[in-house]
């Protein structure tokens, strides 16, 4: 059975990423109403990513490390842990920092974002980066799940 | 809030995460030291990333004015890409 923690981690992370895509769309042509919606989206996205960080971290240390990692490492798909998981768990740490920055810029410049092109373009670029980086990480998560299934199908327990 | 300081603190923190990640694989002693925070090297890196982000912001806000320019963001994006690729390349080499 799939551990519910991994589902909660994945769902929260993806909701967080879509919230930053929402920020990007709102900030393409900022008005006072769109900036207000972008602030709500960024705050929601930040909260979801932060929760995904906590849940994913707990799952990684308490479940993955003890039960999943040994099976993957004993299989022919050892690279799934030694490359994919190692990259995923460390690159993920960039996301909360980037999300904090986007949130801070949105609240600092607020309605000035209609005129401050450097700040509004920065928010668009950083939100796009969060979305792309996050979904690359989600793809890595899918590969890790496949690696675990591969190990189970090989008869490893 | 000083936007330039926060953006630069983010860039340096991202680079430090990459350095700590690679450093932990190259030195068992360093990994053990990081693991002392929270009992696991990943928790240690997570906590340190938050602490360094905050401390670097405090230091940089004393050093830089608040004239935020797009170049600061582009520098951060470049740092994220180089750091991510460095981690990927390292683990491909190390596997």
Within 10 A of B5 (CB to CB), how many other CB atoms are there?
Answer: 22
DSSP string, B15-73: HHHHHHHHHHHH-HHHHHHHHTTTTSHHHHHHHHHHHHHHHHHHHHHHHS-S---HHHH
Helix (H, G, I), strand (E, B) or coil at B13: helix
**Contacts B76 to A, Cβ<8 Å:** 101, 126
Return per-residue pLDDT of chain B as tens, 95 residues.
Answer: 999 999 999 999 999 999 999 999 999 999 999 999 989 999 999 999 999 999 999 999 999 888 888 999 999 999 999 999 999 999 999 98
Residue of B63, B62, B82, B77 whose CA lies nearest to B7? B77
Which of B46, B80, B91 faces A83 most closely, judged by CB atoms?
B91
Q: What is the pLDDT of residue B68?
A: 82
For chain A, the domain total comes to: 1
The verdict on A73 touching B (C-beta cutoff 8 Å) is no
Copy the structure tokens of residue A82. Answer: 């030694």
Q: In angstroms, rounded to a whole number, what is the distance separating the alpha carbons of residues B20 and B76?
A: 18
Mean pLDDT by 10 residues, chain A (157 residues): 89 98 97 98 98 96 93 94 97 98 96 94 98 97 94 81
Q: For residue range A87-113, list pLDDT tens digits in order.
A: 999 999 999 999 999 999 999 999 999
**Contacts B42 to A, Cβ<8 Å:** 57, 60-61, 89-90
Longest dimension (CA), chain B: 44
Longest dimension (CA), chain A: 61
State the residue range of the domain holding A120. 4-153
Q: What is the pLDDT of residue A155?
A: 77
CB distance B53–A100 less than 8 Å? yes
Q: What is the pLDDT of residue B41?
A: 95
Q: What is the pLDDT of residue B92?
A: 97
**Contacts A83 to B, Cβ<8 Å:** 88, 91-92, 95
Judge whether B1 and A119 are in contact, CB under 8 Å. no
**Contacts B73 to A, Cβ<8 Å:** 118, 121-122, 125-126
Within 10 A of A4 (CB to CB), how many other CB atoms are there?
Answer: 10
Q: What is the pLDDT of residue A53?
A: 96
Q: What is the pLDDT of residue B79?
A: 98
For chain B, the structural domain boundaries read 3-94
CB distance B14–A61 less than 8 Å? no
The single residue listed with the structure tokens 């030694």 is: A82
Judge whether B37 and B43 are in contact, CB under 8 Å. yes
Residue A74 Cα to chain centre, angstroms: 28
Closest chain B residue to the Cα of A99, Cα to Cα:
B10
């Amino acid at each position: 059975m799939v551990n519910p923690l991994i589902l909660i981690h994945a769902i929260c992370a993806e909701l967080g990423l879509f919230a930053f895509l929402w920020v990007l769309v709102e900030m393409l042509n900022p008005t006072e109403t769109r900036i207000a919606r972008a602030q709500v989206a960024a705050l929601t996205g930040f909260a979801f990513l932060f929760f995904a960080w906590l849940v994913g971290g707990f799952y990684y240390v308490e479940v993955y490390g003890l039960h999943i990692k040994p099976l993957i490492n004993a299989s022919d798909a050892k690279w799934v842990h030694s490359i994919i998981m190692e990259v995923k768990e460390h690159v993920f740490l960039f996301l909360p920092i980037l999300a904090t920055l986007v949130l801070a810029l949105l609240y600092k410049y607020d309605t000035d974002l209609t005129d401050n092109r450097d700040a509004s373009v920065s928010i668009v670029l950083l939100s796009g980066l969060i979305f792309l980086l996050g979904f690359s990480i989600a793809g890595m998560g899918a590969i890790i799940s496949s690696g675990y299934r591969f190990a189970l199908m090989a008869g490893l327990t | 809030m000083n936007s330039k300081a926060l953006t630069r603190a983010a860039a340096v923190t991202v680079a430090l995460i990459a350095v700590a990640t690679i450093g932990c694989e190259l030195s068992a002693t360093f990994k053990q030291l990081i693991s002392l925070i929270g009992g696991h090297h990943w928790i240690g890196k997570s906590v340190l990333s938050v602490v360094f982000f905050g401390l670097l912001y405090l230091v940089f806000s004393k050093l830089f004015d608040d004239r935020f320019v797009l170049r600061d963001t582009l520098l951060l994006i470049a740092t994220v890409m180089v750091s991510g690729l460095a981690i990927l390349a390292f683990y491909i080499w190390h596997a």
